[in-house]
Amino acid sequence: MGPFPVDDLRREFPALGQAGDFLFFDNAAGAQIPDTVLAAVTDHLVSRNVQRGGPYGRSQEVDAMIVRARAAVAAFVNAPSATEIAFGLNATSFIRSISLAVGQTLDRRAEIVVSDMDHEANIATWAALERSGARIVWWKVREDGCLSVSDLEGLLSDRTRLVACTMASNATGSLVDVKAVARFAHAHGAEVFLDAVHFAPHGPIDVQGFDCDYLVCSGYKIFAPHMGFAWCRTDAINRLPTFREDFIPDVTPDKLEAGTYVYENVAGMEAVIHYLERLGRRATGESGTDRRTAVRTAMEAIAAHEKTLSAELLDAVESIAGARVLT
């Protein structure tokens, strides 16, 4: 893999080209979009800004785009099936929808483990279930700012319904060993819900490798317009009593897609995956690389480049009198 092509890639982002002296330094809250993603959004709005599900050509084109986008995102997260991908407003709305459904299935398993390292979106949504009889069990960070899976093990029992945790802290960037989380949780018959929002821009996601049951993400963190998506294990989500209109099938992905969402932003998300594919194939120099491998390679290349930036930042911080860097 050659040097990361920073200058070439910057030219593909229209916002960076016309920003002048302005710096987009709030990238943890959202990323700018490449020109190909902007083109995909514009093309949808100009050529097929219609409702899906109709018998005419342009509506059928929307249906086809959504099918393609599901397959693209499925490759991004390594989902077993594209039908396990649902689109919507953002990660928070999916957390709320799924938490409300889980809250109706507590029975004798009324304990939900949440961490104090998580974003409020993955805490308050679950804590709200206390009104429905849930008991919140806190998995707390240690002095080094990390979550220890050995601490989690002592919190689990046959009363645990679900463990909800982040993959990476939105405040410190601390990573969680989610494979170990799933191993311990499943040993007690509990499910695992992962918030991948703050990890997704910085490394590859593999829901099969993680062995989680649910994962949510916001596309606008990874070069897409404002939208979100959820991956849910088929048998897990199909057991849940989610809200839907009567004419909507009670199976994934339809049961999580209440109402009309922003189709043009889904078109943009599909274009993001194509962008990452090109970046991955450029990194390896192999044009025939399959989609999943290309996307994973792209995310690994991004992660490697970010480490060089992080190293420079931490070196500078360590030079400040009184500063302490935890690694």
Identify the residue whose tokens are 């317009």: 225
> Tokens 């890639």 identify what position?
9
CATH architecture of 1-238+248-317: 3-Layer(aba) Sandwich (3.40)
Whether 168 contacts 175, CB under 8 Å: yes
DSSP-assigned beta bridge partners for residue 218 = 228
Per-residue pLDDT tens listing for the chain (327 residues):
568 899 999 999 999 999 999 988 888 889 999 999 999 999 999 999 999 999 999 999 999 999 999 999 999 999 999 999 999 999 999 999 999 999 999 989 999 999 999 999 999 999 999 999 999 999 999 988 899 999 999 999 999 999 999 999 988 889 999 999 999 999 999 999 999 999 999 999 999 999 999 999 999 999 999 999 999 999 999 999 999 888 899 999 999 998 899 999 999 999 999 999 999 999 888 888 899 999 999 999 999 999 999 999 889 998 998 888 876
Q: What is the pTM of this model?
A: 0.95
Quickly tell me which residue has 């009593």 as its tokens.
Answer: 241
d(CA 182, CA 58): 43
Q: What's 268-317 look like in SS3?
A: HHHHHHHHHHHHHHHHHCCCCCCHHHHHHHHHHHHHHHHHHHHHHHHHHH
Q: What is the predicted pLDDT for the residue at 37?
A: 98
Angle between helices 291-318 and 57-77 (to 10 degrees): 60
- pLDDT value of residue 25: 86
Would you give the distance in Å from CA 268 to the centre of its chain?
A: 15
CA 242 to chain centre: 20
Name the strand (E) or helix (H) holding 98: helix 91-103
| E-state strands within 53-197 | 85-88, 111-115, 135-139, 160-166, 191-195
Q: Are 230 and 215 in contact (CB under 8 A)?
A: yes
Question: How many residues in the chain?
Answer: 327
Domain parsing of the chain, residue ranges:
1-238+248-317
Q: Kindly list the distances between the CA atom of residue 303 and the CA atoms of 21, 234, 267, 308, in Å, as whole numbers in the listed order.
A: 26, 30, 25, 9
What is the pLDDT, as a whole number, of residue 205?
A: 98
